[in-house]
Amino acid sequence: MSDDDERLGRPDGHRYDAPESDETRVSKEWTYAVLGLLVVVLLVLIATGKVPIFVG
């Protein structure tokens, strides 16, 4: 192992991950926002009875 490999390695065996780019971070933010909005809409539909959960 070279000095560079030892510097980047951690005692638990994982290697250093570079910080993500701004473009990747913004893309993830939009993805999580859309997913959150979808969950909220689904919860509202369930609460109003438009989407039945327990049929019977």
Token pair of 49 as six digits: 């009875």
pLDDT of residue 15: 73
Encode pLDDT of 13-31 as tens digits: 777 778 889 999 999 999 9
Would you say 7 and 14 are in contact if contact means Cβ atoms under 8 Å apart? no
Whether the predicted pLDDT of 45 surpasses 70: yes
Q: Give the predicted TM-score (pTM) of the model.
A: 0.63
Phi, psi of 34 (to 5 degrees): -65, -40
